[in-house]
Amino acid sequence: MKKITVWSDGGARGNPGPAAIGVVIKEGENLLEEISEAIGDATNNIAEYTAVLRGLEVLRSRFGAETKELEIEWKLDSELVERQLAGAYKIKNPGLRELYLQIQDLRVHFPQLNFVHVRREFNKEADRLVNEALDKD
């Protein structure tokens, strides 16, 4: 079984303001994919959710039906988003709820997906990708 580690981050300058996402996907030490994209004006939380959604889309595209055999540890520094995705916190914001539902639709393809909250200093690569996208825009 392939073990994949994903780090994701999202951020907005101004909150809401210009926003971007960063995602790093690795199998062991091998870098499989980096995503660095501006997403227009959004809040930090919308950007965090968008990073997860985009990362899942890329994994689904890259691995197809094989996603059911992937063991994925997904690291993000937003405790709120991690807890909401785990079902521990309710989602009251309609914009976040819509993204959450899109993520849930994709999660059926990833039965061994585990979200883990990490401190910011352990998410530096995804954060770097967010800032690169914001600096380009």
pTM of the model: 0.97
Looking up residue 130, the CATH number of its domain turns out to be 3.30.420.10
Single-letter amino acid code for the residue at 3: K
Residue 116: give the domain boundaries. 2-136
Residues 6+ apart with CB under 8 A from 61: none
Single-letter amino acid code for the residue at 65: A
What is the mean pLDDT of the segment spanning 14-26? Answer: 97
CA distance 106 to 117: 20
CA distance 55 to 22: 9
Per-residue pLDDT tens digits for 49-90: 999 999 999 999 999 999 999 999 999 999 999 999 999 999
Query: Whose structure tokens read 């954060």?
Result: 127
- Give me the pLDDT at residue 26, please: 98
Domain count, the chain: 1
SS3 6: strand
